[in-house]
Amino acid sequence: MIRSMLFLPGNTPNIIVNGEILGADAVILDLEDAVAPAEKDSARILVRNALKYMGFGACRVTVRINAIDTEFWQKDLDAIIPVKPDLIMPPKVSCAKDVQTVDAYITALEEKLGLEKNTVGLIPLIETALGIENAYAIASASPRVRAIFLGGEDLTADLHCKRTKEGNEINYARCRMVVAARAAGVEVYDTPFTDVNDDEGIYTDAQYAKSLGFTGKSAISPRHVKAINEVFSPSAKDIAYAYEVMEAIRIAKEQGKGAVALRGKMIDAPIVARAQQTIAMAEALGLGREA
Amino acid sequence: MEKKLVSSLREAIELSGLKSGMSVSFHHHLRNGDYTLNAVMAEIANLGIKDLTLNASSLFDTHAALEDHIRNHVVRKINTNYMSQGLGRRISEGLMDEPVDFRTHGGRPRDISLGITPIDVAFIAAPTADCAGNCSGKYGPSACGSLGYAFPDAMYAKKVIVITDNLVSYPMQGWSIPEIYVDYVVKVDAIGNPQGIVSGTTRITRDPVGLIMAETAVNVIRHSGLLKDGFSFQTGAGGASLAAASFLKDVMLKENIRGSFASGGITGYLVDMLNAGCFESLMDVQCFDLKAVESIRTNPRHQEISAMQYASPAAASAVVDKLDVVILGATEIDTDFNVNVHTDSNGCIMGGSGGHSDTAAGAKLSMIIAPLFRARLPIVTDHVSCVSTPGRDIDVLVTQRGVAVNPKNEELMLRLKDAGLPVVDIRQLKETAERITGVPAGIKRGERTVANVIYRDGTLIDTIKSI
Amino acid sequence: MGNIIRQATAGTLESSDVFVSLEPCASGLEIEIDSVVQKQFGEAILSVVKEVLSEHGIDKGKLTVTDRGALDCVIRARVETAVLRGKGE
């Protein structure tokens, strides 16, 4: 269960070494934007070694590789696939074919290296206007796609508009991403909140993303992780209600009743589905009934 | 009464009757901005006085000139509570014939008051004074706030010389140390560099590991059972400790807890807590930043305390004994919870107890905050290279990868476990660190004793060897 | 395989990192290590450096390692990067 995904620059040992204790459910080791072109080789080797010799404990590991229009992405995969990250994040994905290109390369590597197939997932980073319009095609382009990820910064540049804290400019993109992901049956992650000094703003931004249906959100600062985890965890109230719903259903079944009411409200299939999701999430997070 | 105000340091020293073999003392409220110790020692050297015992509450790198005075036998012996890295290294290399005696902020006034370390002449740098020697740290261009550590020197030295760069007309208002103790007053151009005396602002850490530890520290306090009305608290000025104070403030305000006092070295963060109503008062032995200086000058609830009242075991009672929680640092901690704050990982002197052992002994909950490893060096060892504070006085170690509770505090262990905090055995923390860093090779210590570490009750707790 | 053909560096002098500098040397292998944890890890660092060099078939070259408390996996990465750069790969 991944709520928070924390970007860590791929060429900074001091940060990578402590990556697993920063509270994020997943880290994104970045070989792309956080690394200068002249240091692509050293970051790639450092990230490979961090995975090979050290690991990130209970933290899931995503590696953001360089885009497929660069000379780096294949070398990135050559180095990283053998050390088995959970997910590969290809950036600037604009169509299903971009995903399939990366997928095919990984599959060939797995064959060559004798690795178990299809264990490495993909989380395409969608950050262009074309990518947003193709979001469903991207999300369903390969069984490797586990989630899609919205990149708000590059997108606004492509949209010829300014990125703001309120985020009205990416509202359509956010909604489109959620619908595409849910239609394809994959998870969906929101763009990071970029003001690292605004401890309140992160809550508002994360709550909005959650209200739209996002699975979780990324962060470029460890300071945002706590807020994201809090917002994307079911609340104690939600959990208690979910158990009540399930209990009401159980009793109704026992009594052979068709229609069930709880606190004067009819419990229909979507309410049951949401209760089941909440309980599954709470259990995955180790949150108890009373939590 | 003869005239106290004299025209030069030299005249004051001569009038004091200082002779070779005697002892002189200094306080460290001007910290790394202090000019006074160097100026006085230079004058003493010029006068041909030798073989002095130097009793300074702390020594900083700005006092590097001491190296020459030691080589030239002007200074024969040093008693101090803290020594920063530069001078510490020289001492560790074997600069002195006699070992340095390290005490604690409470042990020093104890031994001065009991006559164990008598002072012949005390030199008290004062940011403001009048011609009779009434003086204070709260006012003037070199204001440092509290003069807490200077009180025992003023009260017990045979002769007391107040040195000021801000002489005001008699009687000055709001004095801290009264004229009754003062023999001579000297006006100089500057007693220190204000920029080195207090930092403009002390900032909480931005280091994510420090913030994680601070958050855990506050959770430990919350679940210790001590965080309730009447709560008392002390913390150091380290980045993670300040962050903990800042998080603690949020918790106290949210839960509407009205504490009693915060003590020790005071920063702007504790002033904020006072002003927000988290505490009834601050008990200030030393100010760390301008906000603290401003507060002690203007807010009667922000009170100056002497080193004796702060921590002396010889005092009838002391503030440290009323503390609920203290947050402290460590360069090393061993699996018996003994803490080293005197030497670095190479065994080189770079600090001292200050109020570490005093507050640890007094507080109901003594917490160490330290990262599991710094660069590549694990913080938890089998045996610390120097015991500064005994493990029996430490209750809990907070790291970024777990909390270790001293088994002697079973109640705390149960409380923290029940609260779901990541409680682990301290040996497990050591193993976790070593799995990441590798096992460090042991350091060979030299043969010569370069320093004695004297616990607050006067007993020798450890010795530091040459490197 | 093949030896160092050009001067190369890798890493930084930041805390927890290591700066590796190497250059061709006809006579053999020269390794110089300067570390903030020399006393505790000097030997360990040397053996890791040698291991990486041997994995890459390097038996000639002059190597300077300035360590700021880097973990083994970081030292391995920086030495390997410097070697690949020095080989012109």
Domain end point (choices A198, A216, A232): A232
B465 occurs within a structural domain: no
Q: Distance (Å) from the C-alpha of residue B208 to the closest C-alpha of chain A?
A: 6
Question: Rounded distance, CA B290 to CA B294, Å?
Answer: 6
Contacts of B109 (CB under 8 A, 6+ apart): B151, B152, B306, B307, B308, B311, B312, B314, B315
> Judging by DSSP bridges, how do beta strands B339-340 and B332-334 pair with one another?
antiparallel
Helix axes B290-298, B268-275, angle to 10 degrees: 40
Residues of B in contact with A18 (CB under 8 A): 208-209, 400
- Tell me the whole-structure pTM to 2 decimals: 0.91
B114 plus B231 within the same structural domain? no
Whether B116 is in a domain gets the answer yes
- Tell me whether B414 touches chain C (CB under 8 Å): no
Residue with tokens 């938890």: B380
Which residues make Cβ contacts (< 8 Å) with residue B262, sequence separation at least 6? Answer: B232, B233, B234, B235, B270, B273, B274, B278, B279, B282, B283
Q: For residue C25, give the CATH number of its domain.
A: 3.30.230.10
What's the pLDDT at B411? 96
Closest residue in chain A to residue C83, using alpha carbons only: A42
Question: What confidence score (pLDDT) does residue B316 get?
Answer: 97
Mark yes or no for CB contact C17/A45 under 8 Å.
no
Number of structural domains (chain A) is: 2
Q: Are residue B192 and residue B252 in the same domain, yes or no?
A: no
Q: Are residues B33 and B125 in the same domain?
A: yes
B316 burial type by CB count under 10 A (0-12 exposed, 13-18 middle, 19+ buried): exposed
CATH of the domain at B175: 3.40.1080.10
- The answer to whether residue A290 sits within a structural domain is no
Cβ-based neighbours of C73, under 8 Å, separated by 6 or more: A49, A50, A52, A53, A54
Q: Are residues A128 and A170 in the same domain?
A: yes
Q: For residue A78, list chain C residues with Cβ-Cβ distance below 8 A.
A: none
Interface contact A14, partner C, CB < 8 A? yes
Residues contacting residue C67 through CB under 8 Å, at least 6 positions apart: C18, C33, C34, C35, C36, C37, C41, C45, C75
Q: Are residues A223 and A241 in the same domain?
A: no
Q: Which residue of B has its CA nearest to C45?
A: B438
C chain contacts of residue A52, beta-carbon cutoff 8 Å:
73
What mean pLDDT is predicted for residues B382-393? Answer: 97
pLDDT at residue B200 greater than cutoff 90: no
* Structural domain includes residue B135: yes
- Give the CA angle between residues B451, B457, B458 to the nearest 5°: 40
pLDDT(B1) > 60: no
> Do C15 and B443 make contact, defined as CB atoms within 8 angstroms?
no
Same domain, B291 and B313: yes
Q: Which of B197, B227, B261 is the last residue of a domain?
A: B197
- Please give the structure tokens belonging to residue B202: 């002390």
Residues of chain A neighbouring B400 (CB-CB closer than 8 A) = 18, 21
Task: Verify that A163 and A54 share a domain, yes or no.
Answer: yes
Neighbours of A (≥3 Cβ pairs closer than 8 A)? Answer: B, C
How many domains, in total, are found in chain B?
A: 2
Summarised one tens digit per residue, pLDDT across range B286-329 is 999 999 999 999 999 999 999 999 999 999 999 999 999 999 99
Amino acid letter, residue A157: A
> Does residue C86 belong to the interface with chain A, where contact is any CB pair within 8 Å?
no
Q: What are phi and psi of B28, to 5 degrees?
A: -115, 25
- Domain for residue C3, yes or no? no
Q: What is the mean pLDDT of chain B?
A: 96
- Domain end call among A215, A232, A249: A232
Phi, psi angle pair for A30, to nearest 5°: -100, 120
Residue C15 lies in a domain: yes
Q: Which of A12, A17, A42 sits opposite C71 (nearest CB)?
A: A17
Domain of residue A110, CATH code: 3.20.20.60
Q: Is B436 on the interface with A (CB under 8 A)?
A: yes
Is B459 a domain residue? no
Helices and strands in chain C: count of H runs, count of E runs: 2, 4
Inter-chain CB proximity B208 and A223 less than 8 Å: yes
C2 lies in some domain: no
Over residues B231-282, the pLDDT tens digits come to 999 998 888 899 999 999 999 999 999 999 999 999 999 999 999 999 999 9
Q: Among all chains, which residue has been given the structure tokens 């382009």?
A: A141
Residue ending a domain, among B172, B197, B222, is B197
Task: Measure in Å the smallest separation between the Cα of B353 and chain C Cα atoms.
Answer: 24
Across the interface, whether the CB atoms of C37 and B374 are under 8 A apart is answered: no
Looking at the structure, do residues B176 and B219 belong to the same domain, yes or no? no
User: Which of C40, C46, C76 is the best mutation test for B, with the most CBs of B within 10 A?
Assistant: C40
- Whether residues A261 and A195 share a domain: the answer is no
B120 occurs within a structural domain:
yes
Q: Is residue C1 part of a domain?
A: no
How far apart (Å, rounded) are the C-alpha atoms in residues A68 and A71? 8
- Structural domain harbouring C56: 8-87
**CA A231 from centroid of its chain's CA atoms:** 14
The distance of A8 to chain C (nearest Cα, Å) reads 15
Answer yes or no: is pLDDT of B375 > 90. no
Query: How many CB atoms within 10 Å of residue B94?
Result: 14
Domain encompassing residue A14? 4-232
Q: What is the mean pLDDT of residues B388-398?
A: 98
- C14 Cβ under 8 Å from any chain A Cβ: yes
- Together in a domain, B281 and B340: yes
Domain containing residue B247: 208-443
If asked whether residues A202 and A249 sit together in one domain, one would say no
Q: Using CB atoms within 10 Å of the CB of residue B100, give its burial: 0 to 12 exposed, 13 to 18 middle, 19+ buried.
A: buried
DSSP state of A145: B
Q: How far apart are CA A196 and CA A250, in angstroms?
A: 46
Q: What string of H, E and C letters represents the secondary structure of chain B?
A: CCCCEECCHHHHHHHHCCCCCCEEEECCCCHHHECHHHHHHHHHHHCCCCCEEEEECCECHHHCCHHHHHHCCCEEEEEECCECHHHHHHHHCCCCCCCEEECECCHHHHHHHCCCCCCCEEEEEECEEECCCCEECCCCCCCCCCCHHHHHHHHHCCEEEEEECCEECCCCCCCCECHHHCCEEEECCCCECHHHHCECCCCCCCCHHHHHHHHHHHHHHHCCCCCCCCCEEEECCCHHHHHHHHHHHHHHHHCCCCEEEEEEEECHHHHHHHHCCCEEEEEEEEECEHHHHHHHHHCCCEEECCHHHHHCCCCCCCHHHHCCEEEECCCEEECCCCEECCECCCCCECCCCECHHHHHHHCCEEEEECCCEECCEECEECCCCCCCECHHHCCEEEECCEEEECCCCHHHHHHHHHCCCCECCHHHHHHHHHHHHCCCCCCCCCCCEEEEEECCCCCEEEEEECC
Contact A116, A140 (CB under 8 A): no
- From chain B residues 393-432, the ones with a CB under 8 A of any chain A CB are 400-401
Count of residues making up chain C: 89
Beta bridge partners of residue B402, listed in sequence order: B399
Residues B233 and B129 in one domain: no
Which residues of C are less than 8 Å from A53 in CB distance? 72-73, 76
Q: How many CB pairs under 8 A join A and B?
A: 20
**Same domain (yes/no): A94, A112:** yes
Tell me if A263 is assigned to some domain: yes
In a domain, A185, yes or no: yes
A38 inside 8 A of chain C by CB:
no
Structure tokens given for C14? 């930041």
pLDDT per residue over B136-170, tens digit each? 999 999 999 999 999 999 999 999 999 999 999 99
Tokens of B238: 């380290």
Q: Does one domain contain both A227 and A245?
A: no
Q: Are residues A175 and A53 in the same domain?
A: yes
Whether the CB-CB separation of B402 and B429 falls below 8 Å is answered with yes
The confidence band for B204, taking pLDDT boundaries of 50, 70 and 90, is confident
In a domain, B453, yes or no: no
CB contact under 8 A, C69 and B440: no
Instruction: Select the residue of A17, A22, A54 nearest B212 (Cβ to Cβ).
Output: A22
Numbered residues of chain C with Cβ closer than 8 Å to any chain B Cβ: 15-16, 36-37, 39-44, 68-72
Give the count of alpha carbons within 13 A of B307, CB side only. Answer: 30
pLDDT of residue B393: 98
Give the residue-averaged pLDDT of B184-189: 98
Do residues A68 and A197 both lie within one domain? Answer: yes
CB pairs under 8 A between B and C: 37
Residue B455 lies in a domain: no
Domains in chain C: how many in total?
1
Position B345 scores a pLDDT of 86
Query: Is residue B2 over pLDDT 70?
Result: no
Before A82, cis peptide (omega within 30)?
Answer: no
Contact between C22 and C82 under an 8 Å Cβ cutoff? The reply is yes
For C34-89, write each residue's pLDDT tens digit.
999 999 999 999 999 999 999 999 999 999 999 999 999 999 999 999 999 999 87
State the pLDDT at residue A291: 38
Determine the residue of chain C that is closest to B376 in CA distance. Answer: C69
From the list A17, A21, A54, the residue facing B212 with the nearest CB is A21
The band of C1, judged by pLDDT with boundaries at 50, 70 and 90, is low
Q: Could you tell me where the DSSP H helices lie in chain A?
A: 13-17, 40-49, 73-80, 96-113, 129-133, 135-139, 152-158, 171-184, 201-212, 225-232, 236-254, 269-284
Q: What is the pLDDT of residues B426-463, one digit of tens each?
A: 999 999 999 999 999 988 888 999 999 999 999 999 99
Judge whether B332 and B345 are in contact, CB under 8 Å: yes
Claim to verify: residue A197 and residue A267 sit in the same structural domain? no
C10, C14, C71 ranked by CB distance to A42: nearest = C10
Residues in chain A where the model's pLDDT stays below 70: 288-291
